[in-house]
């Protein structure tokens, strides 16, 4: 695209073989070849890109590290990918203000480490936390195991710097948890997958770093045994910082074909529970937990040191990649149902007769239902199976995505199953904020 040749403050990629890596993210979708990929280094590039997008009629597709699970960063027809990996800026921690500011390009790993170096904690921990970029986690409102105690990315955002359709960068929010001068517009951009503008930086809330962790492997006969546990724990004053689970099929795969540490995992189904409050490694705390678990505690294993804890998490963290290596064409979903409806969900899933295995964030009702045979399933049937799955979650008061977003992968289902009033409101907002439709066209709505 000739118009992009003189773009200031940017690296521009045109060569079709160099465009290839931008056609994919971590979803099962593939994008169309973009007109070009632009890596902006400064605001002048964005200003000019926005101007050109309007005059030449192309779309702008934001990209972070490409670790998304819903195709949100994949190029659509007549689009230019805006890759924020070279966007400048430093990570700055302010212990006094209990916050941190960072550019969209900052690796989440470095953001978390910068906080930790000051004894502070930035909790969001998507599975891709070691490879994803902050900007992508903001655009998709990423979640992870910690969300059952600490909430999603959006709960940690104080302010965002956003490229708007006037071509300029505007800041929404201030570096304080208290800011009530009108609605919190910063939140509009979190999880909106670049529909209203592109996030180039943010100010994030921090809290003191937890200093103790108790990590438990809780083997059970059936996943049903776990269903009332989150409620019972909280009722007794125990709020887990993570409550993960593997169903018998996933656990069997891990044990049979996973790494050495997975081969020793106990149980027919298995929960991983972690507690991180002060005192959680004390004997009194553990005794209280054992009392509460009662007969369930039989077979319980407690990580006795940081190495054992890290081994447990390493298995949990590699589960998605491991299943993908074994079933390269699998489709992995991330539905949510209220915890009180989990039993009905699993019963409904059985009734659907859809060949699925499940693991994930049981503590907050966010389940990774994996259709391992998706690659061998006739496309129309696969689509029906996915729609049935989504409908089941929605009818139980849940939703079709807990942490991965809608992007391209779930757009049709979102439009079919979403509340029409909500979709209309989103479209009205889109029209108001992006009247020329240049920001991530063809995604979400």
Q: Alpha carbon of 390 to those of 29, 56, 122, 218: distances in Å?
A: 18, 38, 31, 29
Query: Minimum distance between the CB of residue 228 and ligand MLT, rounded to whole angstroms?
Result: 23
- Cβ proximity to ligand MLT: between 68 and 201 the closer is 68
Backbone angles phi, psi at 391, to 5 degrees: -65, -40
Please give the Cα distance from 445 to 441 (Å, whole number): 9
Please give the Cα distance from 344 to 352 (Å, whole number): 12
Query: Minimum distance between the CB of residue 35 and ligand MLT, rounded to whole angstroms?
Result: 30
361 C-beta neighbours (distance < 10 Å), count: 23
Query: Minimum distance between the CB of residue 326 and ligand MLT, rounded to whole angstroms?
Result: 14
- Cβ proximity to ligand MLT: between 126 and 418 the closer is 126
Query: Minimum distance between the CB of residue 359 and ligand MLT, rounded to whole angstroms?
Result: 7
Query: Which token pair is 246?
Result: 């593997």
- Cβ proximity to ligand MLT: between 69 and 327 the closer is 69
Query: Minimum distance between the CB of residue 404 and ligand MLT, rounded to whole angstroms?
Result: 7
Q: Report helix, strand or coil for 239.
A: coil
| Residue numbers 92-131 binding ligand MLT by CB under 6 A | 127
3 C-beta neighbours (distance < 10 Å), count: 16
Please give the Cα distance from 309 to 432 (Å, whole number): 49
Beta strands in 108-156 (DSSP E): 120-121
- Cβ proximity to ligand MLT: between 67 and 280 the closer is 67
Query: Minimum distance between the CB of residue 34 and ligand MLT, rounded to whole angstroms?
Result: 25
- Cβ proximity to ligand MLT: between 40 and 360 the closer is 360
Q: Confirm if 122 and 156 have CB atoms less than 8 A apart.
A: yes
Closest residue to ligand MLT in the complex (CB): 320
Q: Pick the binder of ligand MLT from 149, 330, 368, 430 (CB under 6 A).
A: 368
Query: Which token pair is 41?
Result: 């280094």
Query: Minimum distance between the CB of residue 424 and ligand MLT, rounded to whole angstroms?
Result: 30
Q: Report helix, strand or coil for 415.
A: helix
- Cβ proximity to ligand MLT: between 47 and 368 the closer is 368
Please give the Cα distance from 226 to 214 (Å, whole number): 18
Q: How many residues bind ligand MLT (CB under 6 A)?
A: 7
Please give the Cα distance from 249 to 359 (Å, whole number): 9
- Cβ proximity to ligand MLT: between 46 and 65 the closer is 65
- Cβ proximity to ligand MLT: between 63 and 368 the closer is 368
Determine if 69 is a binding residue for ligand MLT (CB under 6 A): yes
Determine if 140 is a binding residue for ligand MLT (CB under 6 A): no
The set of residues, in sequence order, having a beta carbon less than 8 Å from that of 164 and lying 6+ positions away, is 170, 196, 197, 433
- In 3D space, the residue among 86, 6, 91, 100 whose CA is nearest the CA of residue 49 turns out to be 6
Q: Pick the binder of ligand MLT from 101, 141, 320, 358 (CB under 6 A).
A: 320
Query: Minimum distance between the CB of residue 254 and ligand MLT, rounded to whole angstroms?
Result: 12
| Residue numbers 345-364 binding ligand MLT by CB under 6 A | 360
Determine if 141 is a binding residue for ligand MLT (CB under 6 A): no
Whole-angstrom distance between the N-terminal and C-terminal Cα of the chain? 28
Please give the Cα distance from 177 to 59 (Å, whole number): 35
Q: Pick the binder of ligand MLT from 146, 241, 319, 385 (CB under 6 A).
A: 319
- Cβ proximity to ligand MLT: between 79 and 137 the closer is 137
Q: Report helix, strand or coil for 324.
A: helix
Query: Minimum distance between the CB of residue 162 and ligand MLT, rounded to whole angstroms?
Result: 26
Query: Minimum distance between the CB of residue 272 and ligand MLT, rounded to whole angstroms?
Result: 12
Determine if 332 is a binding residue for ligand MLT (CB under 6 A): yes
Q: Report helix, strand or coil for 64.
A: coil
Q: Which parts of this chain interact with ligand MLT (CB under 6 A)?
A: 69, 127, 319-320, 332, 360, 368
């Amino acid at each position: 695209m000739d118009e992009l040749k003189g773009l200031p403050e940017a690296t521009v990629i045109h060569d079709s073989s160099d465009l290839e890596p931008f056609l994919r993210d971590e979803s099962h979708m593939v994008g169309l070849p973009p007109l070009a990929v632009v890596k902006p280094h400064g605001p002048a590039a964005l200003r000019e890109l926005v101007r050109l997008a309007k005059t030449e009629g192309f779309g702008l597709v934001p990209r972070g590290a490409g670790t998304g699970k819903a195709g949100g960063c994949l190029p659509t027809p007549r689009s230019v990918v805006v890759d924020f990996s070279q966007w400048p800026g430093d990570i700055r921690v302010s212990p006094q203000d209990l916050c941190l500011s960072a550019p969209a390009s900052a690796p989440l790993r470095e953001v978390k480490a910068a906080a930790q170096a000051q004894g502070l904690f930035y909790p969001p921990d998507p599975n891709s936390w070691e490879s994803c970029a902050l900007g992508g986690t903001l655009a998709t409102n990423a979640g992870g195991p910690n969300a059952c105690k600490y909430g999603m990315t959006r709960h940690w955002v104080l302010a965002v710097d956003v490229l708007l359709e006037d071509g300029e960068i505007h800041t929404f929010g201030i570096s304080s948890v208290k800011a009530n001068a009108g609605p919190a517009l910063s939140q509009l951009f979190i999880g909106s997958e670049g529909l209203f503008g592109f996030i180039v930086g943010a100010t994030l809330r921090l809290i003191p770093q937890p200093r103790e962790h108790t990590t438990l492997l809780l083997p059970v006969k059936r996943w049903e045994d776990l269903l009332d546990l989150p409620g019972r724990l909280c009722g007794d004053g125990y709020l887990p910082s993570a409550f993960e689970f593997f169903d018998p099929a996933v656990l069997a795969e891990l044990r049979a074909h996973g790494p050495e540490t997975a081969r020793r995992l106990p149980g027919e189904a298995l929960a991983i529970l972690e507690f991180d409050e002060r005192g959680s490694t004390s004997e009194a705390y553990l005794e209280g937990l054992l009392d509460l678990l009662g007969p369930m505690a039989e077979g319980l294993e407690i990580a006795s040191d940081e190495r054992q804890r890290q081994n447990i998490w390493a298995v949990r963290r590699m589960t998605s990649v491991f299943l993908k290596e074994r079933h390269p064409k699998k489709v992995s979903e991330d539905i949510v149902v209220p915890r009180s409806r989990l039993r009905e969900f699993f019963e409904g899933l059985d009734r659907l007769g859809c060949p699925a295995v499940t693991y994930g964030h049981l503590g907050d009702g966010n389940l990774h239902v994996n259709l391992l045979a998706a690659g061998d399933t006739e496309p129309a049937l696969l689509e029906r199976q996915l729609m049935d799955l989504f409908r089941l979650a929605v009818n139980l008061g849940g939703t079709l995505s807990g942490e991965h977003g809608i992007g391209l992968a779930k757009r049709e289902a979102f439009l079919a199953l979403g509340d029409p009033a909500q979709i209309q409101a989103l479209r009205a907002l889109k029209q108001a904020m992006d009247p020329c439709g240049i920001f991530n066209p063809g995604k979400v709505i």
